[in-house]
Amino acid sequence: MKNSFYLIAFVLVFFTSCNKSVEKSIEISVDESAKEVPLLKGVWELVSYYNYDENGVTDTIKSTKGNRQIKIYTDTKVNWSRYRESDSLDWFGYGNYSNTDSSLTENLEYGSKSMNQIISEREAFEFNLVLENDKFSQIEIDEEGNILFAENYIRIE
């Protein structure tokens, strides 16, 4: 009789522990899928540029064939280039980047001759970031917390 009691108790404990581990694995997989965050990794094209003053957006500049900018982000690197038909200067930059869900920092190592002059004074470029799956905005804020401009991109790859 004692052996039957132990056997029944063992089977109940076994099934109870199996049931709990199944529930835990289901909870974990549901939580992981809910935390899917858009990635900056990819190729992006500038579609518009906003200028701001204390009242909000003062000017919107849309990209055209004669005014294009592309950014490429890998896991840790950024490369960007700008083409302006009306500008005789080359514009590009290369370096590292890091981001959170609301900020983007680009640490440029080198760039075009005109960009290298800017990099010599300012290696890190910090922006507020609004990132969705297929679009993002990088927003520059001044020391007083005022929005200066926003660059708006769409994913092209």
58-71: per-residue pLDDT in tens? 999 999 999 999 99
User: Quick one: pLDDT at residue 30?
Assistant: 47
Q: What is the count of structural domains for the chain? A: 2
Same domain for 141 and 96, yes or no, is yes
Same domain for 17 and 46, yes or no, is no
Residue 78: other Cβ atoms inside 10 A: 22
Same domain for 53 and 78, yes or no, is yes
Residue 97: other Cβ atoms inside 10 A: 19
69-89: per-residue pLDDT in tens? 999 999 999 999 999 999 888
Same domain for 87 and 141, yes or no, is yes
Same domain for 105 and 119, yes or no, is yes
The CATH code of the domain that includes 93 is: 2.40.128.280
| CA gap 11, 83 in Å, rounded | 72
Angle at 152 between CA 157 and CA 107, to 5 degrees: 80
Same domain for 48 and 31, yes or no, is no
Same domain for 119 and 135, yes or no, is yes
- pLDDT for residue 103 is more than 90: yes
**Using an 8 Å Cβ cutoff, are 78 and 97 in contact?**
yes
| CA gap 153, 157 in Å, rounded | 12
User: Quick one: pLDDT at residue 123?
Assistant: 80
Same domain for 104 and 129, yes or no, is yes
Question: What's the chain's average pLDDT?
Answer: 84
Same domain for 88 and 139, yes or no, is yes
- pLDDT for residue 3 is more than 90: no
Give the residue numbers spanning the domain of 85: 42-155
Write the DSSP symbol of residue 64.
B
Q: Which amino acid is at 140?
A: E
pTM: 0.75
